[in-house]
Every structure is written in C-alpha cells, then in structure tokens.
Structure 1
Amino acid sequence: MKIISVETFLVAPRWLFCRIGTDEGVVGWGEPVVEGRAATVRTCVAELSEILIGQDPLRIEDLWQVMTKSGFYRGGAVLASAVAGIDQALWDIAGKVRKAPVHELLGGPVRDRVRVYSWVGGDEPAEVAEQISERRAAGFSAVKMNASNAMGPIASAAEISAVVDRAVAAREAFGPSGDFAIDFHGRVSRANARRLLPLLAETSPFFVEEPLLPEEGHMLPSLMAASNIPIATGERLFSRQEFLPVLQAGIAVAQPDLSHAGGISEVRRIATLAETFGASLAPHCPLGPIALAASLQVDFATPNFLIQEQSLGIHYNQSNDLLDYLVDPTVFAFADGYVERSTAPGLGIEVDEAAVRRADEIGHNWRGPLWRHPDGSFAEW
C-alpha cells in the first residue's frame, strides 16, 4: 500500500481537515489546525506531503520521525499541528486496514465509556447558573468556564470578587455532585493567580486550567504551593519534552491537544510520561469531529485518563457545529455525561466527504479576537 494523495480542506467554523488517499482505496482523515492560522498549517501539510507521497501509510512511527526531525528545525505550533493531523489520518488508515478501532491498536480498551465535559461561557454569574442548568438537563455532570474577561497585572477588588462570584454561582447551580473547571486561559498574572486560588478553594473546582502562560511554567511550583486546587495545563505545549517541566512542577492534569501535540502518536507518549508523575490526561479539544474522534481513541486506551473536552454548542461554532460533517452523528451521542466506546474501524467516524468539499469551496478566515486594556495596551485573550 502506498500514499497517493494528501488533501486539505478549510471548513467552517475554524477547522482544517486532511484526507490521505492510498492506491488501495483506503482513506484516512485527520484535523491539522492552529486556530487562527489554518492557512499556515495548510501550507505546512502541503510541504510534508512531499515526504508522504509514495510511502507506506502503515509505517506510522517512521513517518512521524521523518516529518518531525528531517527538516533540521524542529517543533513549534505549526509543524506539530501539521504532523498531528497527518498522524491522525495515518492511524485512521491503519485501523481500517486491520478492521479495528485505533484504541485496539494502542493495546486495547481500559474503559467502556469516556466522561466528557461541556463548555459554558462564565462571563456573568447569572449566565453561569443558567447555562449549567441547561447542561445538567442535557445529561452532563461536568462543565468548564472562563474565570474572567481581560484582567490587568494587578486586578481590582471588584475583578477578583467577580471571579469568585462566578465560581460560587457554578457550585450552587451544580450542588456537591457536579464538577466545574475554571479556565484562567493565560489571562491571569501570577500575582492575581496567587490571590485567586485560595479564594476559589471553598467552591472545590475540578481543576484550574492554564493559570499561567505556557512560557511561565517555571513559576508553577510557587503558584501551586499557594493552593490545593488541582492545576491543569498543556493546550499550548506540543511535545513530551515541553510537558516534562510542568509535570516535574507537579501539575495534576495534562491537557495536550490531539490536533497540536503531534497527534495520536505523541499524545500517547505524553500520557505515559504524565502517568509516571501521577498526573491525569484530559485532552484539550475545542475543535472538530476528527480531533474529537482521535482524542477518544487515546482516551479509551489510556489508564490515567480523566475527562474529555468536546465542542458541541461551543461559542466558536457559529455557522457549523461538531456533528455537521459526519455521515452518522450518533457516534458522539452523549448520555449521562459519557460517550460509549465505538468498535468501528479506524477513528470510528465516517466523514461526509461531499459536505467537506462543499465547505472548502467557501472556506474561512477565522481569527481570535484582539483584546486591549483600558490604557490601550495588549491584553491576553
């Protein structure tokens, strides 16, 4: 079997899909994208296709090594994300050839269903309560929300109180049995995080996500010493080498993204590394159906898996949503906050290729918002 084609598709709302074709008619799908830089990653996939055409798609590890290392300059969001989507597609092909789901190729399932969480905005306490009630009614037992809007280096008392009010509203809406995670999103300075974490402890968040920017990982130990709340991070880390320092710092939850951190191959290794530090895996995934399908395959085969993010109804999905490009959307049927293990081959989904090709004719040019502080200076989004 040989690879004969590598195609990419810009599909709304902000995704990039990759289709790898073979001379035996077996097709694999992946999702290589950096949000807001989809066209850049598309170019990188096209460059990597020069390596792939004519190669055996079942030599996944060899192709991964060549793609990540043969260009001399290594790493970074764009290359790691391009490799990630290609890697997903190669595993999809491998599963289809062997007539088995990818999780069986990874050693077999260690669970029968995967717990998932839903997104709520978190902009105002009243909205938090209302949205959590809606998610509870839909069967979810866990949600994640933003902690705040833009926040200055030293927040006002009102800003600090607003974050705590959101958490209190979330806990009251859920009661003691549900879980809510709080995403600091890199918007919160170290000084503000040290003030906030002790104040949030009484609401018992599931975890606090990205309390510091990824380049500030060296400050995590002192931050975690100020609180007993589990700390999660990793959506902007792209390799096990980048995860090593934050795991050594003591994070409780590793959050690699299957479309950014080298795909199934590398995230599987990151999960194993995390296990040696007693950390759980909770893959980041506010993206499309292929990224979620790849995440679930890793989740089913990973002993230290905790919970899975998914994007159904997330605020980014304005024109299209998670299920729109699937032939059978019931593969992501969430019941009681879980998704059942699929036994379908490959990634376990069937992509509606005609819908994808139609969407690519329109494409998208999604960009993240640009925020500024009241004085006009740049603010983290």
Structure 2
Amino acid sequence: CECYNTAGIIPGIKPDMSVKDRAAATIAAGYRAFRMGAADTPANTTFNTRQKLNQLYEECVQAREGVGKDGDFCIDFHQRFDLSDAIRGCDLIESLAPLFVEDPVRAEGFGEDLPRLRKLVKVPIAAGEEWGNRWDFNPLVENHDIDYVRATLPNVGGITEMMKIAAICETHFVGIVPHFTGPIATAALVNSLGTFSGPLLMEYNFEGKELPHVPVGLDFKHGKLYPNDRPGLGVELDMSKLMPILEVTKYDTNRAQTYFRPDGSITNW
C-alpha cells in the first residue's frame, strides 16, 4: 500500500525545517504524498480563520514547490473553518492542485455542508476522520460529494464494517484514505484494504521509530506498507507496555488541544 506522511515526520527532519524542505524530503523518502495541517498554530492560542487563510496559501505554495510539479501534497483543514472560509480556502489553493483537501468543514455539518461545498469548489475532497459509519458515508459516496472516504477503522466498527464501506466506495469509484490511529489499526487496514481496487493511500508516521508496545510490526520500506505471512494482523504486541502508555495519556494535561477565536471563544483545533 502506498503511504503519505504527515508534516514530514521521517528520519533526518528537524523541527525548524521549512514546509518546502519537509515536503521535498518526504517525496525523496519514497512516500506518495506529503500531508500537512491548515495553518498549524501552537495549541491553546488564537486562531483567526480569516488571517490564517493567507498562511494556508503560503504554506501550500511551499508544499507544491517541495513535492515538485509531479508530486502530491494534501492539506488537512481539520474542521477549523466554517463553510464560507472553507470555500475561500479551497479557491485560494485550487491552482496548486492538492491531492485532496481534508475535512474542510465541521463534521457536525457534513451531511449538509459537503454537498454544498462540492458544488462550489473544484479541489478533491476527503472527509470522515472523526465521523460516520457506512450509512453516513453512503449518500456522500453515491452522490460523489467526496472524492476520498477518510474513515477511521476503530470508529466505524472494525474490519468488517470497514470492508463494507470499501465495497460502497468501489461501486461508485470513490477512493479511500483511511485515518491513521496507530500501528495496530494500520495493520488491520493493510490486511482489510490491500485488495481494494480503487485509489488507496495509507498514513504512516512511524518510519525510523521504535515502538516498545509493538516489537514486531508491519513491513515498511520506501514509502510503502506490505502485508506479511505472520498470523493474524501480522504484528505482535507487548501487553506489559500498553498500561504505562494508557497512564501517561490519561494524566497528560497537554493532551486536550484547543484554539480560540479572537473574541476568546473556543473553536475547533
């Protein structure tokens, strides 16, 4: 399965590197595409959507320069924009030809706003990271309101439900870019979607990293994930390492990331 990488999280990347350099390094490492957030800003700070659209455009210009004329980049709007700003943002970057724009509007309004957006913008749309089951996705896929289903395997009900969503997508020639939630779910995705005949792109951000709780993982090389002949999902877990991870996550006071509007009210991160 071909993969994309988020923010250039690969060996050799340094925190102070530009978007352009991160994008170039990602493509050079063999990944199909470079993905980034829309005008990412430190958590718990002000996010002025009108001003951030300018930053969004400038960073997309860098991404296009980094991946080159024939490379691919994708941009995650992360449900940070209302419909009007999502339209403006999509229009601003249309000429840069992103592979897709992800979650351009709030998930609570997907059923109404994505069909509206589809009629008003020309960029490919991916949606569904924090939303939906096969019944929710079905009308969006049937009507081609989205170009890629961004389903999360654990959220939609596991392997069986994910394969049913894949069947809907395959019937209507809609691609799948499943949401990455960790190495176990990714192994399930590779095993369940490896035979999907439509456009398929996996997210992978673990290159060069040791995972103590997954001592035996999937085979990854040159930007691609490969299934293997090991039993089950092809990975092995160290259950003794999972409890410390749970405890650290549970008591991490920085885990809840928030953005604020200029007036101080809370908006989507």
Same fold (TM over 0.5): yes
1:284 aligns with 2:160: no
> What is the aligned counterpart of 1:342 among 203, 228, 240?
228
**Among 275, 287, 297, which residue is 2:191 paired with?**
297
The alpha carbon displacement at 1:130 in A equals 2.3
Query: What is the aligned partner in structure 2 of residue 233 from structure 1?
Result: 127
For 2:6, the equivalent position in structure 1 comes to: 119
In 2, are the aligned partners of 1:118 and 1:144 still within 8 Å (CA)? yes
Give secondary structure in 1 for the equivalent of 2:161: helix
- Give the C-alpha shift of residue 223 in structure 1: 1.2
SS of 1:232 mapped into structure 2: strand
Amino acid at match of 1:133: A
Decide which of 53, 56, 64 is 1:163's aligned counterpart: 56
- Identify which of 253, 261, 268 aligns with 2:163: 268
In 2, Cα distance between the equivalents of 1:219 and 1:324?
A: 42
Question: Per-residue deviation at 1:228?
Answer: 1.8
Checking the alignment, whether the CA contact within 8 Å between 2:219 and 2:227 is kept in structure 1 is no
The correspondence of residues 127-146 of structure 1 with structure 2, limited to 5 A, is 127-146=18-37
Matches of 2:89 and 2:191, distance apart in 1: 36
Task: Tell me the CA shift for residue 375 of structure 1.
Answer: 1.4
Report the secondary structure of 1:139's partner residue: coil
User: Quick one: structure 1 residues 184 and 146, their matched pair in 2 at CA, closer, same or farther if it must change by over 3 Å?
Assistant: same
In 1, are the aligned partners of 2:126 and 2:147 still within 8 Å (CA)? yes
Report the CA distance between 1:250 and its aligned residue: 1.9
Query: Aligned in 2, Cα 1:187/1:361: closer, same or farther, shift over 3 Å?
Result: closer
What TM-score do you get using the length of structure 1 for normalisation?
Answer: 0.61
Q: What is the rounded CA distance, in whole Å, between the counterparts of 2:32 and 2:20 in structure 1?
A: 14
How big is each residue's C-alpha offset from its partner over 1:12-69, in whole Å with a ceiling of 9 and x where there is no partner? xxxxxxxxxxxxxxxxxxxxxxxxxxxxxxxxxxxxxxxxxxxxxxxxxxxxxxxxxx
Instruction: State the match for 2:83 in structure 1.
Output: 190
Which of structures 1 and 2 has the bigger CA Rg?
1
* Residue 67 of structure 2 is aligned to residue 174 of structure 1: yes
SS at match of 2:146: coil
- The one-letter amino acid of 2:145's match is G
Partner of 1:209: 102
Structure 1 residue identity aligned to 2:108 = E
Partners of 1:288 and 1:322 within 8 A in 2: no
User: Matches of 2:257 and 2:30 in 1, distance apart?
Assistant: 31
Structure 1 residue 125: deviation in Å? 11
In structure 2, runs of 5+ residues without a counterpart are 9-14, 41-45
**Aligned counterparts of 2:80 and 2:61: Cα–Cα separation in 1:** 20
For 2:213, the aligned partner's letter is Y
Residue in 1 that maps onto 2:219:
332
Deviation at 1:249, TM superposition (A): 5.2
The structural deviation recorded for 1:291 is 1.0
How many residues align? The count is 254
Deviation at 1:177, TM superposition (A): 2.4
Question: Which AA in structure 1 matches 2:195?
Answer: A
Tell me, yes or no, if the aligned pair for 1:240 and 1:269 is still in contact at 8 Å.
yes
Q: What is aligned with 2:239?
A: 353
